[in-house]
Structure 1
Amino acid sequence: MNSLRNRRNPWALYESEVPHRRFRDPTCGVSPAEKLSPEQLQLLRNAFTCAEAEEKNDEETPNEWSKSKSWTRKERGMNLGEFLDVLRSVIGSDIEDTWAERFFNEVDISCTGRVRWQQLCSYLFLEYTERERASIPTAALLDAEPQIRHSPHNKREPTVRVVAVSHPPPLRYISVSKGGQITVWNSSLYILKSLGLAGDPREEVANTRRFRGWATDAVYMSNVHKVAIATDCRDLHFVNVSTASVFEDVHLFGFRSVLTALCYWHDAQCPERPPLLLMGDEKGGVHLMWFLIPSKGLFKNPSKKENSPQRIFFPDLSEHSDMVTYRHIPNVHQKPITRVMFEPSSNVIMTSSESSTTSVVFMTVTLKREPYIWKIREGAKCFDYTTLPGHRATILDVAIYQPVRQIFSYSRDAELRVWDISTHHCLKIVHLQFPCLQPGRIPEHGNFPFLLLSPPPSEHKQPHLVVGCKDYLALLSLAEAGRGGGGTGGEFGPDFQGGPALSCALYNPTLRQVVTGYADSSVSLWGVETGRRQLQILNAHGEEELTCMALDSSHRRLITGARNGTIKVWNSLNGLNLHKLEPVTDTEVTGVLCLHDNQLLAVGWSQRIAQYDIAAAKDLYVRARMSWKSSGVHTADILAVCQCSALGVIATASHNGEIVIWRLETQGPLLHLQRHTQAGEVPPVNSLLFLQHRAGNRKLRNKGVLVSSQGGFLSFWSITEQTHSYGQFYAPEQPGERVLSLSSDQPTNKILVSGDTAGWLQIWDISQYALDVQHESVCERPPMLQCWKAHKLGLVSVEVLELADRLLILTASSDGSAGLWTKDGDHVGSFGQELMWNITDPATYQRETHNLSKGKHEDGRTESDKVGSRKKRQDPDDPTNSGQTSQGDCCSKDNTSVQTASSSSLAESEYEQSQQPMYLCQDLCQKCRVRRHLFDDIDHCNHC
């Protein structure tokens, strides 16, 4: 555990995180920050000032007001009606009442019913600050520490060019060193193969030919699966990469000058169009080579097959006129061409050189138009035209990354910069720590250090950038869309149905919103009546996983906790970050709850209780108060926390199975609870739930008021009686599972809902359960009302909510989906689905009933055979349900309590020793009249 209390800057965790982005539903209307002009803001200020002065004069004399000045300024404000009238007078009478009311609610975050000018200023300040921050996008680089690999085959020579080869799959990289060494890498930069360029056959000694020149450039010819490599020997080497065995098959030699830059284009939509190979040379000329029948080859096949590459003398190229057409454009530049590019839509050739008079030239292939010429004093080593000052050494390469409108530039001192095209801001600076870097020395580079792969080949989904320095390569992953930036509008991010793992969820009854939090640090707020997303916050805690959420007492503020110990408070209406709470440690926050006076409590792996006052907080940063006497009470990580206001207590539970009851008044421990097991192992407590109705009822508050889930067992506890255990039973449908989440209906607490690690949801009738002391070994279960498999993976959150005069169940799963169900198991829908529902119209429900799964079990029976008619179960209080069973049947046909869970009614020791499926009968065996015995088979009783 790493304590942050003694650090100089406890807020460093917030300062280093990726900024968040928020997106609002466009139907909510324009943000007030966009709609209000400076003149209108001045009129608003005058209106508030006049209102304050009016109240002073009407209610007090000047002297009296002077004595109570602070009180008046604190209490005075406008109610909703007054605020609407002022807005109409300032903006116009045509403003929508719903927009103005939403504006009022966003400002009145504490739900006092009045807003003051100071509150309005704070709200607008946050809005404008957020929008200004969001206007500067975040750099697209995802890797803080790129993978760096050494290329020993380069023999300390720099890499000239890296190309990406996607055929045959999977993706490979091919690097070409200055000395002509070719290295094949896999997508993770591990070497697969290496070979050298063929040398002059006249120098063959002992059946070996050594290449003695320097490579100048290389290009991948994707439609013919070859790599063309130019060297200072005035030649081109064509290397076949169509198979895993890379080899050189054509050597075109005898050019009049050294080729210094290459570019290749082919029309993927029209393969019959001749592809074009462009070559810039040392004399400033451009060579164009069209391959007429690329499907049959680049050149005529040799008359006889040889093991060595086919050698073609450049002056003899006319003999291959059926296969290739050649053209030369001389004297485009006065110095060697450093880069050549081709724009097919306009048939424009773009070239650069270090000439000050012809630095960059744009010309058409036909030369019918005058070329565009840029003159730069020092010439151009590379180009994508812009002026971005900042590098302190020669810029070796630049590339435009179109998906996020950013530019990458790389200088000789191994500094990589990311720029925003629209604002020319430098968004990020990365100093690549290549092992070959030495203090005071500039490393050697090839002419083309960059390979930008965007869009990537289909089988390699992540765009990335490869950088070469001397004989090393660095691989950096790129974001596919801007992660920083974005205001309150724009498109939502991806719907999370089946997406990133979902870690927490809750229901906001005041705003009628469902809030879901995800492992990728995003938050989505959904309208529960339609399933439509209203607000989304990306990177809420940078890139840290969200672990818990809670609401304040007004339900206008959302509190989120993360795996790195950070806690934030948000405006639930607009996504503004109101407060950042001081982290106690840099370890996981597992639970937050809000007391009635907006005092927040946070627990987690710190094993302590931290308190925060957000009621009086005016600053963005709120300090933690460690006044709770929690030091050393829990000896393991705290995993759960819940509150019972009627009894004035909270409960916390830890990884070692211990539950501690705390008195709110004294902030100290009151009671320790722990379930004893015969096996000796104590599983962690995953969830806690107070039954608030029982706690508030004088006749019931001494009964089982606290429910805990430990492993698969649900335990009911009294916290006031001498005997605390009031019942326990194993809840999951399958052996070895755990219950992750609990909920109950409010305010009656007649049912208990549990969700387990296998995705099953159970609804129990607890109206008469745990009202008498029950010995731990009995494990009597309450009647099960419903049971169905709600999700593929574990249910991290379940919640009972009352809406439109009906009970609904909210479920959230680690499989990335969140759903809404009726209490009978009908599926209303999944949040994020394409079609919205109407909560008052059952015809719009998805109606995927999961409580009769048809999957076969090992014994050959279907789930419906075992579970029976759970959904059609009669009310246990119905007098027509006599409970009679047919002769020979152990269970009533209408009784739905035959469970697939092995050990459902076993005492814990029996459960841990049980190895075969067992079944529980809730009714009497007709033969022996014994109740609640285990059955190897549904048709007969073990007791018999």
Structure 2
Amino acid sequence: NLLLLVTGGLDRLIRTWNPYVPGKPTGTLKGHSAPIFYLCISSEDNRIFSVSTDNMVKVGSFMLGYDPYTLITAHPKASLICGEMTACLYSSSVRALYVATDSISQLCLKTRPPPQGHLVMSHREPVLCCGYSEELHQVVSCSEQSVVKVWDCDTGTQVFEFGNAHGFSAISCLTFDSKGRRLITGGRDGSLKAWNFNNGQCLKIFREDGESHKVCDCAYLTVNRKSYVMSVGWDRRIHVYPVSVFLSGHKDDILCMALCPPTLLATGSHDGEVLVWNMVSGHLQCHILTPSPPDSSVVSSFTEKSRQMTAHSNLGFFFQSRLKRQITKMALSKQENWLYVADEVGYISVFEIDAYALVPDQQQTAPKGKKVFSLPTLNLPPGLLLTSSVDCTVRLWSIHGEFIGTFGQADRWSIHTPSSWQHPTAPHEVLIDPLSMPASLPLKTFHSPLSCSEGKTDCLP
């Protein structure tokens, strides 16, 4: 019914054809960087599935094409596809693509249902990062569709927004300059951009020549009265701008970084390595090999005045047997005595790191089943915690787990007036899912010295 043919080959291009007009392709789709290995058309979803020899999987609409209209790009590392590609198969019944390498991987195509009318959404798409400008007292959130929104932290109302910040690429990270008046965003297009985020003006673009790699984290640093913007990502380098130099030392993709002013920088990579750099000399200061399995990657890190903490996907380094879920973000309280750990399920666990980060104090939740991507606390007013998630929300909490509100809700709040907070009313997703509620402590067990012939114990209030 579609009257469409799709071909791909060694030139890395995908061509669409009208079978009745074979002389010229109707369209040419770009996006792959290796020869095309497998192609499939899913007519029920109007999708094209393509797999290249570098194990990269792309899902696009044949009505629009791929670049820049790619709907999904499944990176092999993120999708746990490793080894030489041998076979692929798309199953329309389960809407999944099976990829055979050293093992068989199943990539399911899941489309998000439209937001329900009773749910408050800060964005129309997943929120990947958020931050707080102490100077302007504003919260900035960035989404998967490259939309930047600015919020008033005092009331939760939207101040400004602008789109297409990185074209059609998602914004994966953000930071502010030392004064908190300029926003720096990093995108999956491999670029960093500096913004006046109160009017949407792009002030400068930082990008290396050559192939673009996803930016995973960025930071702003001042050394010897000179300011630098830095980024890390899938090209395994630490880029330092505006002098356009880079530090090289990791053997795998760099996923996160943390500053320890005035001179130290720590970076963590997919293979579990942590490197500490001297930013004045540019030399490697320390190399930490963590006692973790080889498939453990560093996904979040932070620095204290006296020590460095790093979280791994299997939690073998600091939180052994305490949590069973992958960590997505960590943040410190201003007093550096509490550690807030967000995981892929949506829980935020609180650890007292004065006790070596081994005993969780309490557990509060963002919506269950929604990965928490950003968790800033350091620059926020005292007693506040800011979260963003793939459920399209940006929320404000007290550090004791009290829910203040969702940015964009109809009712304004005042952070100085607890009676205006949503607490004790929890977010709707938490209310309807009992597994999302904090676990209660068990009652104390009493052992009676008495017994009876039936072997039965009774009690009265």
| Change over 3 Å in CA distance of 1:544–1:530 after alignment to 2 | same
Which secondary structure does the structure 2 equivalent of 1:828 belong to? Answer: strand
**Alignment partner of 2:291 out of 664, 673, 676:** 676
| Change over 3 Å in CA distance of 1:855–1:498 after alignment to 2 | same
1:508 equivalenced with 2:127 (yes/no): no
Which secondary structure does the structure 2 equivalent of 1:833 belong to? Answer: coil
1:791 Cα shift? 5.1
Contact 2:349/2:360, CA 8 A, preserved across alignment: no
User: Within 5 A, what are the aligned runs for 1:683-694?
Assistant: 683-691=296-304
**Alignment partner of 2:261 out of 632, 635, 645:** 645
| Change over 3 Å in CA distance of 1:790–1:821 after alignment to 2 | farther
Alignment-mate amino acid for residue 610 of structure 1: H
**Alignment partner of 1:520 out of 137, 140, 145:** 145
Contact 1:605/1:638, CA 8 A, preserved across alignment: yes
**Alignment partner of 1:749 out of 326, 336, 346:** 336
1:844 Cα shift? 2.1
Which secondary structure does the structure 1 equivalent of 2:328 belong to? Answer: strand
Structure 1 partner of 2:416? 840
1:661 equivalenced with 2:264 (yes/no): no
1:497 Cα shift? 3.1
Alignment-mate amino acid for residue 625 of structure 1: S
1:653 Cα shift? 0.5
Structure 1 partner of 2:351? 764
User: Within 5 A, what are the aligned runs for 1:164-175?
Assistant: none
| Change over 3 Å in CA distance of 1:651–1:147 after alignment to 2 | same
1:784 Cα shift? 1.2
Alignment-mate amino acid for residue 740 of structure 1: T
| Change over 3 Å in CA distance of 1:690–1:576 after alignment to 2 | same
Contact 1:603/1:638, CA 8 A, preserved across alignment: yes
1:551 equivalenced with 2:176 (yes/no): yes
Distance 1:558 1:565 in 2: 17
Which secondary structure does the structure 1 equivalent of 2:383 belong to? Answer: strand
Distance 2:214 2:160 in 1: 25
**Alignment partner of 1:635 out of 235, 241, 251:** 251
Distance 1:888 1:505 in 2: 51
Contact 1:531/1:830, CA 8 A, preserved across alignment: yes
1:605 equivalenced with 2:234 (yes/no): yes
Deviations 1:401-424 (A, max 9, x none): xxxxxxxxxxxxxxxxxxxxxxxx
**Alignment partner of 2:218 out of 587, 592, 601:** 592
1:868 Cα shift? 0.9
Contact 1:712/1:731, CA 8 A, preserved across alignment: no
1:708 equivalenced with 2:310 (yes/no): yes
Contact 1:825/1:849, CA 8 A, preserved across alignment: no
| Change over 3 Å in CA distance of 1:801–1:837 after alignment to 2 | farther
Deviations 1:589-621 (A, max 9, x none): 1111111232111111121111113xxxxxxxx
Which secondary structure does the structure 2 equivalent of 1:767 belong to? Answer: helix
Alignment-mate amino acid for residue 519 of structure 1: E
Structure 1 partner of 2:362? 785
Q: How many residues align?
A: 339
1:519 Cα shift? 0.9
Distance 2:319 2:441 in 1: 25
Structure 1 partner of 2:395? 819
| Change over 3 Å in CA distance of 1:845–1:607 after alignment to 2 | same
Which secondary structure does the structure 2 equivalent of 1:577 belong to? Answer: strand
Distance 1:611 1:578 in 2: 17
| Change over 3 Å in CA distance of 1:751–1:635 after alignment to 2 | same
Which secondary structure does the structure 2 equivalent of 1:609 belong to? Answer: strand
Alignment-mate amino acid for residue 328 of structure 2: L
1:863 Cα shift? 6.9
Structure 2 partner of 1:574? 199
User: Within 5 A, what are the aligned runs for 1:721-740?
Assistant: 727-732=318-323, 735=324, 737-740=325-328
Structure 2 partner of 1:776? none
Alignment-mate amino acid for residue 299 of structure 2: N
Contact 2:208/2:244, CA 8 A, preserved across alignment: no
1:583 Cα shift? 2.6
1:834 Cα shift? 2.4
1:750 Cα shift? 1.2
Distance 1:685 1:536 in 2: 32
| Change over 3 Å in CA distance of 1:791–1:592 after alignment to 2 | same
1:654 Cα shift? 0.5
Distance 2:16 2:277 in 1: 50
Alignment-mate amino acid for residue 767 of structure 1: D
State the TM-score, normalized to the length of structure 2: 0.66
Alignment-mate amino acid for residue 816 of structure 1: C
Distance 2:47 2:192 in 1: 38
Deviations 1:222-248 (A, max 9, x none): xxxxxxxxxxxxxxxxxxxxxxxxxxx
Distance 1:509 1:537 in 2: 21
Which secondary structure does the structure 2 equivalent of 1:796 belong to? Answer: strand
| Change over 3 Å in CA distance of 1:187–1:669 after alignment to 2 | closer
Contact 1:712/1:730, CA 8 A, preserved across alignment: no
Deviations 1:825-850 (A, max 9, x none): 22111112222222222222222337
Distance 1:503 1:863 in 2: 21
1:188 Cα shift? 4.7
Distance 2:175 2:353 in 1: 26
Which secondary structure does the structure 2 equivalent of 1:520 belong to? Answer: coil
Contact 2:133/2:379, CA 8 A, preserved across alignment: no
Distance 1:501 1:676 in 2: 34
User: Within 5 A, what are the aligned runs for 1:41-440?
Assistant: 149-150=18-19, 188=46
Contact 2:368/2:433, CA 8 A, preserved across alignment: no
Task: Report % sequence identity.
Answer: 24
Deviations 1:255-297 (A, max 9, x none): xxxxxxxxxxxxxxxxxxxxxxxxxxxxxxxxxxxxxxxxxxx
State the TM-score, normalized to the length of structure 1: 0.34
Distance 1:803 1:559 in 2: 18
Contact 1:516/1:524, CA 8 A, preserved across alignment: yes
- Structure (1/2) with the larger helix percentage: 1
Distance 1:541 1:846 in 2: 34
Contact 1:731/1:739, CA 8 A, preserved across alignment: no
1:681 Cα shift? 3.1
Distance 1:146 1:555 in 2: 47
Structure 2 partner of 1:918? none
| Change over 3 Å in CA distance of 1:607–1:833 after alignment to 2 | same
Contact 2:150/2:198, CA 8 A, preserved across alignment: no
Distance 2:146 2:200 in 1: 14
Distance 2:373 2:447 in 1: 41
Which sections of structure 2, spanning at least 5 residues, go unmatched?
1-13, 24-42, 49-119, 449-461
| Change over 3 Å in CA distance of 1:854–1:523 after alignment to 2 | closer
Task: Name the Cα RMSD after superposition.
Answer: 3.2
Structure 2 partner of 1:808? 384
Which secondary structure does the structure 1 equivalent of 2:375 belong to? Answer: strand
Distance 1:659 1:532 in 2: 39
Distance 1:833 1:803 in 2: 20
Deviations 1:773-798 (A, max 9, x none): xxxxxxxx224134334454111111
Distance 1:654 1:189 in 2: 34
1:802 Cα shift? 6.9
| Change over 3 Å in CA distance of 1:665–1:498 after alignment to 2 | closer
Which secondary structure does the structure 1 equivalent of 2:309 belong to? Answer: strand
Structure 2 partner of 1:903? none
Which sections of structure 1, spanning at least 5 residues, go unmatched?
1-144, 157-184, 191-494, 614-623, 696-700, 716-726, 771-780, 857-861, 871-883, 890-944
Structure 1 partner of 2:36? none
1:552 Cα shift? 0.6
Q: Tell me which structure has the larger Cα radius of gyration.
A: 1
